[in-house]
Amino acid sequence: MRVVMSQSATEFITPLTMQALSGNPVSQDLLDPAAELAMGHIELAKWADLVVVAPATANLLARMSAGMADELITTVTLATAAPIAVCPAMNQQMYHHPATQANLTTLQQRGCLIWGPAAGDQACGDVGKGRMLEPQQILEHIQATQHPQILEGKHLLITAGPTREAIDPVRYLTNKSSGKMGYALAEQALALGADVTLVSGPVSIKALQGVNTITVESAEQMHQAVMENVDNADVFIGCAAVADYKPAELATQKIKKNNTTMAIELTRNPDILADVAKRSNRPFTVGFAAETNDVAKYAKGKLANKKLDMIAANDVSKPNQGFNTDDNALTVYWPEGECALTHGHKQQIARQLLELIHQQLK
């Protein structure tokens, strides 16, 4: 990695810091006497496989759009043959200004990648769209550009998170699912070129940009959302931890603690995965099995009984994998084989699982 800093950037962070982090000298000046002995700005432009401009201010976007080469950053972006990505960062009013939008459109029409911006609290006190993407998100975009778009043209329908089954107006039945695995699958599928629809139960995860997200509460709502979208899907991944049961009756008022014990009659929820799998025109259907014992036995049984194309099983009794963690480990089964995806970050596990699905689709 090579770093080019504007004068304004050096007022926020020192070139020495960026040099230490990148392991390479930092370039700052267009007419650096030492660098320009070898036409340094052209060599930089030729060296890059990808140019990422982060943060890209409204001023810098305007100069890039106009084709200016008045300092080192704009000169490199004009001279490079590599893909260019910009990460807009500015006040929300500046971002929405017609001039900024026109500049972004111009850059996009020239093939420039636009990553972000995100919405949220801003340094000026405003709230809105204009925040630069988080560094981790930018890194994921960079990684995506280095991977072939193996799912391009495919439509993936993914479920994520828990469901909530109401007992009364203030209480509900649910489970420990955080939704992190399902969201990781949606994010990685998008990075691999897929069109993604995510049906999400109640989670504390920010919505994914570029993903069509449908939010639901109950298993019945999730079932309805899946059935309304499954006809357009090439792949269905049932990653959500859907409640198997719901209260047979919903109390219209809060239940009072008048007795020392209470019995709640439960009734079965619809089986989303089974209903998708038995469709005559079904997509490639992938299930998940979160187990605490006999993981392989139960996963293989679910694969066969529901006639799935693939199932991903994990042992949630083990520490640091499964519910409410950033890491996971899966064993993936399909009728003709199996593959262990060893312990790693859920983003990594998600990509590996999608690559397995791609292989089976071929």
From the annotation, which residues make up the binding site? 238-240, 244, 254, 270-273, 288, 302, 306
SS3 assignment, position 140: helix
User: Known catalytic residue: 124?
Assistant: yes
Q: What's the farthest any 2 CA atoms get from each other in the chain?
A: 87
Whether the Cβ atoms of residue 215 and residue 200 lie closer than 8 Å to each other? yes
Q: Give the other-Cβ count within 10 Å of 222's Cβ.
A: 28
The annotation places the binding site for CTP at 238-240, 244, 254, 270-273, 288, 302, 306
CA quadruple 221, 222, 223, 225: dihedral sign: positive
The residue type at 314? N
Would residue 217 be called left, alpha or beta, if left means φ above 0 and alpha means ψ between -120 and 50 degrees?
A: alpha
Q: Which of 87, 112, 124, 339 is catalytic?
A: 124
- Exposure b/e, 67-96, CB count within 10 A at least 16 = b: eebebbbbbbbebbeeebbbbbbbbbebbe
| C-alpha distances out from residue 223 to 96, 219, 261, 322, Å | 38, 6, 32, 23
What dihedral do alpha carbons 328, 338, 304, 269 form, nearest 10°?
Answer: 10
Which residue is it, tokens 């089976």?
360
Which residues are annotated as catalytic? 124
